[in-house]
Amino acid sequence: MDEETKKLSWHHYVNIRQLRVEPFILLYMIGYSLSAMAVSQLVQDKLCRVDYDQSSIFCISINSADFDHGGETIKSNIIKDATYITLYRTLLSTLPCIIWALFLGPWSDNYVNGRKYIMIVGAIAAALESIILIINASLFDLSGYYVLLSFIPSAFTGGIVATLMAIYAYCSATSDKYTRSTRFAIVEICFWIAQPIGSFIGGQILGDGDQNTKFQLYNYIPVFVVSLCAHIAAIIWAILVIDEQQSLLDLPQPIRSSHPLPFEIDQPDVEPGVPVTCINSDREEILTPNESMNESYAMNSSLISFNGISQRSRLIWNEFLNIFHLDHVSRLWRTLIRQRSHWGREQIWILFFSTAFLLLVYLNTTFVLWSYVEKLFSWPPKFYSNITSMTAIGTLILMGLVLPIFVHILQYGDLRLALLGVLSLMGQCILRGSWQHETGLYLSFIAGTLAPLSVIGIRSRLSKIIENDERGKLFALLAIVEAVTPGIASLFYSIIFTSTIDVYPGLVFQVAAFILLIPLLAIIFIDTYCIHDYDKSSSSSSDR
């Protein structure tokens, strides 16, 4: 630990005034997770009642230990169809996000409130998704495939991929090398703790099913209404509270002294046609006087006074149109291929591929775990929701206790944290795949308690390799990886799980554990051969 780091007291690592985006992600992900189980159950029940024309008693008993195994073939077919709908949903929700990420990341580097706008739009799209789900649940006699219509708003706005990209870029921009690991950890804790909270609340509202009704076998609509309220609260919070410029001013004094303020203009008195320098915390470049005026307005509207709303509207509209400038794509590519000191470019490529494989394994919980326990243990959705919620909260509590020990006492670096996370996730997958018993499942939750450290360590390391004006671009590239991976994972797990569901359902988790060898070896390689200490470096990305 260097002398400058020692001067920072513990409360500087967690500055409450900076935690503006964390409540947003908590509300956003609670709303997102609230509806996750209800959507899966709605799809399954629509397939069972409408597409397979089974009775309410049969459809509800699928999730019961008293299920008549004479209908096992129909049950397997329903689960397979539900898995394929999940695949189509993933492709619909994520593939368009790749296009959005190509433009939104570089664009958000240009405007101090650009990331705030992306978060607001993402929350609005999630609210629209909840509204369409309410309508879909009301029209229960429609096929389960019509549920896919609910995810169109996210496809046209970037969805959760663009929202998370903006959140991580925001945190990187409003923290520095001393506080970034802790800041990412807080964001990850909010991200992960919101999911069991939402899942638990959603499971309680969803209920145990009503065999006496022809439709609405579970309480889908109340779940979607509560999810809608959570997203509306996230929208209000983002509009009123999130302010990247103010977050920079709230940085601790020892950090702010070496952290530039978001905006200032050199040479304020210029002649027409003479270039001026526009400087902010994200970039420094030469602009013409007209460009400088537009830029300064976009980044701090209080500095420039305009007469009339129409002029301001035109500027906002021009900012929106600037999203689709092709130069954003070229700058994104240059960020990825430019040479950097200390093998930074190679580290970025390796860590990107490692992130993709990590996400591929992480997503087995999203795509097959529910179907896995439903097939082997016949857990009802409410019980599954309770178990996963309790284990996830326990995981986050434990991680919150051990993370300060690892970072500030044992002084583990980013890659050491990532290594612990990968080993924890590998142990979880091995237990689930090899010990196909409820005891093995419970132990797998315990084994995976440190798994979130893998993504925390990788994100923190990546943010230290790049320059200040590349934050949005970096997390846009990461968002592309995160957008592509779910589609691949959904197809990958659908093929394996549907092929082995009646023979060896645990194989999918054993394959996932084998895949983790790739990020494990990659992290060990970087930690062994790329030994530059970015925490002690004042410049983390220069030409090699």
Tokens of residue 540, six digits = 């983390």
What lies within 8 Å, CB to CB, of 485 at 6+ separation is 356, 359, 360, 363
Return the SS3 of 112: coil
Q: Phi first, then psi: what are they for 277, rounded to 5°? A: -100, 125
Owner of token pair 């990788």:
458
> Which residues neighbour 66 within 8 Å (Cβ) at sequence distance 6 or greater?
none
Residue 317's CB is within 10 A of a number of other CB atoms, namely 10
Mapped onto helix, strand or coil, the DSSP state of residue 26 is: helix
pLDDT at site 514: 93
Both structure tokens of 202: 């959603």
Torsion of CA 176, 179, 180, 184, to 10 degrees: -150
Report residues of the chain scoring pLDDT below 70: 1-18, 63-70, 105, 112, 176-181, 211-215, 244-328, 468-469, 472, 535-544
* Dist. CA 37–CA 43, nearest whole Å: 10
Task: Calculate ∠ Cα 188-130-455, nearest 5°.
Answer: 15
Amino acid at 243: D
Closest C-alpha to 530, from 414, 410, 402? 414
Per-residue CA distances from 249 to 14, 183, 260, 263 (Å): 15, 16, 9, 11
- Alpha carbon distance 441, 349 (integer Å): 34
| Closest CA relative to residue 22, chosen from 331, 317, 234, 289 | 234
Please tell me whether the overall predicted TM-score, pTM, comes out greater than 0.85 for this model.
no
SS3 263: strand
Q: Which domains does the chain have, with CATH numbers?
A: 23-251+335-536 (1.20.1250.20), 261-325 (no CATH)
Q: Which helix (H) or strand (E) holds 284?
A: strand 284-287
Q: Which residues contact 269 (CB under 8 A, 6 or more apart)?
A: none
Give SS3 for 450.
coil
Tell me what pLDDT residue 19 has: 73
Q: Which of 439, 490, 536 is nearest to 94 (CA)?
A: 490
Q: What is the pLDDT of residues 122-135, one digit of tens each?
A: 999 999 999 999 99
User: What is the DSSP code string of 79-93?
Assistant: HHHHHHHHHHHHHHH
Q: What is the Cα–Cα distance from 6 to 179, expressed in whole angstroms?
A: 13
- Collapsing DSSP states into helix, strand and coil, what is residue 286? strand
Which phi and psi (to 5°) does residue 364 adopt?
-65, -30
Helix (H) or strand (E) holding 264: strand 263-265
- Between the alpha carbon of residue 412 and those of residues 399, 447, 529, 532, the distances in Å are 14, 20, 17, 14
DSSP H or E stretch at residue 223: helix 220-240
Q: 10 Å Cβ neighbour count for 454?
A: 29
The residue whose two tokens read 């009339």 is 308
Q: In what order do the strands lie in the sheet with 284-287?
A: 263-265, 276-280, 284-287
> Distances in Å between the alpha carbon of 513 and those of 18, 176, 434, 444?
38, 34, 11, 12
Least Cα distance to 42 among 198, 219, 166 occurs for 219
pLDDT on residue 536: 63
Three-state DSSP state, 275: coil
What distance in Å separates the CA atoms of residue 511 and residue 505, rounded to the nearest whole number? Answer: 11
**Residue 90 and residue 494 in contact, taking contact as beta carbons nearer than 8 Å:** no
Q: Model confidence over 247-275: pLDDT tens digits?
A: 554 455 444 444 444 444 333 444 444 44
Long-range contacts of 260-269 (CB under 8 A, 24+ apart): 262/112, 262/299, 262/300, 263/112, 263/296, 263/299, 263/300, 263/303, 265/292, 265/296
- Amino acid, single-letter form, for residue 481: V
